[in-house]
Amino acid sequence: MTAATRTTRGTPMRQLTLSLVILGLSAAPAPGQETRVSREALVAAAERGPAAAKGRDDAPITVVEFSDFRCSFCRKFWKETLPRIEADYISAGKVRLVYRHLVVLGPASQRAAEAAECAGEQGRFWKYHDALFEQGGRSLPDARVAAEIGLDPAAHEACVASGRHRERVLGETAIAQSVGATGTPAFLINGRLLIGAHPFETFKRVLDAMLGGRGPGAAPRPESPR
């Protein structure tokens, strides 16, 4: 059995359009001129827009993870499943993993996501990502932890205070909800949606089926959060 943290549904069209602009995949529309955004465009934005990523750019499979740093099921994926995916698929050049934010647990989650993006400005996104999950969503890493992972604590604090990554985080959340991510963690595996903290064996079955040439339809049907 798997589980996920539930999200709310419904995303204003302007937020979706803004999301593509933030990711550099669309020009800003004139006020009131937002148009319907296709699922294909949203998946492309999630897969190829600027983001923290692991793996080769030309890997045959792209996995987009939508996650909330305060979500216990996301932490479970990070702790139990991600290391095995990294060892067996990412390091082997078979999978490219893209991290996207899906903020579902309130202002503290939003702040954590923005703080991670600020760490990314200093080339330390993944170290900060690990520090957040290590703390289990209880709080942001303090200045000592920031220094230990190689951040300039003062610059990082100033970045978080500026709020300059707020719209990016909200935009990624909007994209996630619009492609059907009803809970965290959620994944797009070559565009196919999988929801929940599934065990490694589920990912292995899906990834091996795709790598074996049986097509993306091998991805299991999304599961409802429990």
Please check the confidence at residue 126 and state whether its pLDDT lies above 60.
yes
Tokens 């903020």 belong to: 103
- Model's pTM, two decimal places? 0.83
Q: Domain 12-106+169-218: which topology?
A: Glutaredoxin (3.40.30)
Please check the confidence at residue 32 and state whether its pLDDT lies above 90.
no
> What integer pLDDT is reported at residue 111 of this predicted model?
95
The predicted-structure confidence for 140-191, as pLDDT tens digits, reads as follows 888 888 889 999 999 999 999 999 999 899 989 989 998 999 899 999 999 9
Give the angle subtended at the CA of 51 by the CAs of 167 and 224, to the nearest 5°.
80
- Domain edges within the chain: 12-106+169-218
> What integer pLDDT is reported at residue 218 of this predicted model?
39
Please check the confidence at residue 1 and state whether its pLDDT lies above 70.
no
Q: Which residue has the higher pLDDT, 49 or 100?
A: 100
Instruction: Report the C-alpha gap between 131 and 138 in whole angstroms.
Output: 11
Q: Write out the two tokens for 162.
A: 């500026």
**What values do phi and psi take at 95, rounded to 5?**
-135, 140
The predicted-structure confidence for 107-122, as pLDDT tens digits, reads as follows 999 999 999 999 999 9
Mean residue pLDDT of the chain comes to 84
Average pLDDT over residues 54-80: 97
Most confident of 9-13, 81-85, 146-150: 81-85
Q: Write out the two tokens for 113.
A: 């996501």
Q: Which residue has the higher pLDDT, 115 or 224?
A: 115
- State the pLDDT confidence band at 23, using cuts at 50, 70 and 90: low
**What values do phi and psi take at 66, rounded to 5?**
-105, 120
- State the pLDDT confidence band at 125, using cuts at 50, 70 and 90: very high
The number of C-alpha atoms within 13 Å of 183 and in the hemisphere containing its C-beta is 18
For the chain, what percent of residues have pLDDT higher than 70? 78
